[in-house]
Every structure is written in structure tokens, then in C-alpha cells.
Amino acid sequence: MQVLGIDVGGSGIKGAIVDVSSGQLCSEPVSLITPQPATPPAVIETVGELVRSFKWTGLVGCGFPAVIQNGLAKTAANIAASWINVDVKRCLESQTGCSSAVLNDADAAGLAEMSFGAGHGFNGTVLVLTLGTGIGSALFYQGQLFPNLELGFLPLNGSPAEQYTSAAVRTKQKLSWLGWSKRLNQFLTHVDRLFSPELIIIGGGVSFNHEKFFPYLDLQAQLLPAQFKNQAGIVGAACFAANQIAL
């Protein structure tokens, strides 16, 4: 079965057609810039443009940067606050004409890694973190997802953790890998103590360079780079949509 997976982020909106039985992409990914400000009409129009670029009329899965409950956005992370209480699923279906399913973007990435990637076959407690514009988080126990875990908003040094230690902060503040790793280790040590995961998977575009910062991290948990890198959200969103239809 093929599903169009979409990953909405604070800086980019990307998608690809996914074979949900294998997690493999069946098309080249397409990426568009997230409009600024990232208001509901602007973002939904961009997502519609993305879907139309594939000439797609089938099922769509969408990872979205918010707590998602029954298709509604209950928070807004790195997008306009006007998204709060918007029915993302309904907006997406209205714009595209496609049957759709929506979930938190980090949860989507986590599902991809647990289904086909670095966490496949691991039945302990696994924390998947996506480091990008912000910090996304997905927690699994025995393969089951605890949804909408927004660890990027944990307080760290007087501000939300993602404002201190995201990959975007490293770039913006021109931090060295060592300097940024010290910040990241602070955050990881904090969540390590809170949840005692046996495995932490680091995703997002920065995972392409994991060898530049993994050696500086000192944790109890095993640490692995995400196998899907920054395509995890696409794959996980597609798989989630297929599972929702099956249910």
C-alpha cells in the first residue's frame, strides 16, 4: 500500500509517497518553504500545493508540529498561535480532497524509527528525539507510543529547552560542536533521569553529523542516530495514516 506522507516543520514542509509495508520512499521527496507567518491559511495552501505536485488523490498522512488530539491542534510549536484549536485534519481534507490522518510530527518520526529504523525490534523504553527548529520527542514502551510528549518545552536554564539546545540554536548562535554538545548533554541528562530510557534515538537533519557530537555525550542510555534522518516524519506519518484506515 502506498500513502503520501507529509512532514510540516517550522522551516520546511516536505513529503513523499511511501510504501507503508517497508517504509521505503516510492518517489523523490518534495520540499517547500514553510510560509512566514505560519498561519493556518498559508500553511494549508502550501500543503495543498505539495499534494498537487504529486498529482495525488489517495490517502495522506501528516506529521504536524503541535499536540494533536482527535485531529485538532492543541498547541503551536514553531508555527502561528492561531493554529490552536484548529481542526488540522478537516482543513487538510478540505484543501486536498484526500482522506487524511494527522499526528504530532515527532510522534510520526518515532513511529518510523520503531517500525523500520533504529528502534525496530527493541521492546524496552525508547525515547526518539528530533533536533531541528525545535526539539521533538516521542516515547515508546514495548513498542507502544505515549503520544504528544513535548519535552522540548521542559525548562532548562530559565527557558524552554528547545530555545537553548535545538539544532537551529547551534546554527544561529554559531556554536561549536563541543559547545552545543554540552548544552545537549544537559538536556539529555535531564530526560534520562525523568524517564530512564534504555535507548535514545537522535533524529533530524543534525543526525547526519552524529559522529561530530555523539562522542561528547555522557548518558546512561544507549545512544543511536536515527536511520531515517530527516525523512522519518514522512515515513511515520504515512504509516500512521495506513494504520488509522485499517482500524
Q: Are 150 and 134 in contact (CB under 8 A)?
A: no
Beta carbons of 6 and 236 less than 8 angstroms apart:
no
Question: Is the dihedral angle over the CA atoms 153, 241, 235, 197 positive or is it negative?
Answer: positive
Q: At 234, which helix (H) or strand (E)?
A: helix 232-246
Do 88 and 138 lie in one domain? The reply is no
Using CB atoms within 10 A of its CB, is residue 99 exposed (0-12), middle (13-18) or buried (19+)? middle
User: Which residues does residue 202 pair with via DSSP β-bridges, in sequence order?
Assistant: 129, 225
Residues 87 and 169 in one domain: no
β-pairing, 222-225 with 199-203?
Answer: parallel
The answer as to whether 117 is a domain residue is: no
Answer whether residue 113 is part of any domain.
no
CATH of the domain at 76: 3.30.420.40
Please report, rounded to a whole number, the percentage of residues in the chain having pLDDT higher than 90.
Answer: 94
Does a structural domain hold residue 37?
yes
* Number of domains within the chain: 2
Domain span at 205: 122-226
Are residues 193 and 238 located together in one domain of the fold?
no
Looking at the fold, whether 84 and 180 belong to one and the same domain comes out as: no
Q: What pLDDT, in 10s, does the model give residues 54-108?
A: 999 999 999 999 999 999 999 998 899 999 999 999 999 999 999 999 999 999 9
% of the chain beyond a pLDDT of 70? 99
**What is the sign of the dihedral through the CA atoms of 148, 154, 213 and 167?**
positive
- Whether residue 147 lies inside any domain: the answer is yes
| Claim to verify: residue 167 and residue 93 sit in the same structural domain | no
Per residue in 14-50, pLDDT (tens digit) is 999 999 999 999 999 999 999 999 999 999 999 999 9
> Are residue 66 and residue 151 in the same domain, yes or no?
no
Residue 114 lies in a domain: no
pLDDT in tens, 162-181: 999 999 999 999 999 999 99
Residues 6 and 103 in one domain: yes
